[in-house]
């Protein structure tokens, strides 16, 4: 009697030679059915796939921790804020010999709408009223007088004047005032080197910002 085995014979592999694509071939032979199949093994493809998987995992780990850099757009509102801050700095600066009273109408023409609305609102009225009371009974330094005058000018200015904000006419007037202030500053300083000395560099930067903003708002 011949014993009957129900288990299938294991697959037997016979290595073949390498082909042109550097793929190693194996011949699989089934013990019972004598079927043959040919498969190719490429170690290079496995290595590339493992490298690709590692790079994908690395990108997933870094996702969410990267820094997104973007430049803020230069809008008319941002330019107006720069001009207002430069005007206030120039009011308090001592390193220049310009006629600072010209800064007051320049501030009124180039102040942002939010600042004008705040000054003409209830808080601005109370601020001007308290500043006027202090001015009547106490001494106010000269550096604080120009901001107070700018506050009063914006409050009492008629709407025809305030409507010049954001228009071509208002930009031309602002550029003329800024150009005149720049001419006064650099001509009275004597030279460019003296205008950027430590005592007057802040005023010089403020005047340059005012002039540049006025020129940009013109276009």
pLDDT computed for residue 50 by the predictor: 52
- The three-state secondary structure class of 14 is strand
The whole domain housing 158 covers: 76-218
**Residue 167: DSSP 8-state:** S
**Average pLDDT score over residue span 141-156:** 88
147: CB partners within 8 A, 6+ apart: 88, 91
The region of weakest confidence among 10-14, 75-79, 175-179 is 10-14
Which has more pLDDT, 18 or 92? 92
| Domain presence at residue 91 | yes
Residue-wise over 155-182: b if at least 16 C-beta within 10 A, else e?
bebeeeebebbeeeebbebbbebbeebb
Are 90 and 143 a contacting pair, CB within 8 Å?
no
Task: Summarize pLDDT for 53-94 with one digit per residue, the tens.
Answer: 555 555 544 444 444 444 556 788 899 999 999 999 999 888
Examine the domain organization and report whether 104 and 195 are in the same domain: yes
Checking if the pLDDT of 6 tops 50, the result is no
Examine the domain organization and report whether 98 and 194 are in the same domain: yes
Examine the domain organization and report whether 43 and 105 are in the same domain: no
Examine the domain organization and report whether 20 and 121 are in the same domain: no
| Domain presence at residue 87 | yes
pLDDT tier for residue 211 given thresholds of 50, 70 and 90:
very high
What is the torsion angle, in degrees rounded to the nearest 10, for the CA atoms of residue 133, residue 137, residue 143 and residue 144?
Answer: -10
CA-based R_g, the chain, Å: 40
Examine the domain organization and report whether 20 and 85 are in the same domain: no
Please count the structural domains in the chain.
Answer: 2
Give Cα 209 distance to the centre of its chain: 18
Task: Summarize pLDDT for 106-127 with one digit per residue, the tens.
Answer: 999 999 999 999 999 999 999 9
Question: What's the predicted TM-score (pTM) here?
Answer: 0.63
pLDDT computed for residue 172 by the predictor: 93
Q: Cα–Cα distance between 175 and 83 in angstroms, integer?
A: 12
Checking if the pLDDT of 100 tops 70, the result is yes
pLDDT computed for residue 140 by the predictor: 78
pLDDT computed for residue 58 by the predictor: 53
| Domain presence at residue 2 | no
Instruction: Give me the chain's average pLDDT, please.
Output: 74
């Amino acid at each position: 009697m011949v014993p009957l085995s129900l288990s299938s014979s294991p697959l037997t592999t016979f290595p073949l030679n390498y082909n042109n694509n550097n793929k190693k071939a194996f011949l699989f032979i089934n013990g019972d059915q004598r079927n043959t199949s040919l498969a190719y093994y490429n170690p290079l493809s496995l290595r590339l796939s493992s490298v690709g998987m590692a790079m994908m995992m690395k990108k997933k780990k870094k996702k969410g921790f990267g820094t997104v850099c973007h430049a803020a757009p230069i809008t008319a509102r941002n330019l107006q804020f720069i001009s207002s801050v430069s005007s206030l700095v120039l009011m308090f600066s001592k390193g220049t010999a310009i006629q600072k009273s010209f800064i007051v109408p320049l501030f009124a023409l180039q102040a942002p709408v939010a600042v004008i609305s705040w000054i003409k609102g209830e808080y601005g009225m109370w601020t001007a009223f308290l500043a006027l009371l202090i001015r009547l009974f106490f001494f106010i330094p000269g550096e604080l007088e120009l901001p107070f005058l700018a506050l009063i000018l914006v409050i009492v200015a008629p709407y025809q004047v305030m409507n010049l904000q954001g228009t071509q006419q208002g930009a031309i007037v602002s550029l003329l005032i800024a150009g005149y202030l720049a001419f006064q500053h650099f001509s009275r300083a004597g030279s460019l080197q003296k205008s950027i000395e430590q005592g007057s560099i802040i005023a010089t930067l403020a005047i340059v910002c005012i002039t540049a903003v006025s020129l940009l708002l013109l276009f």
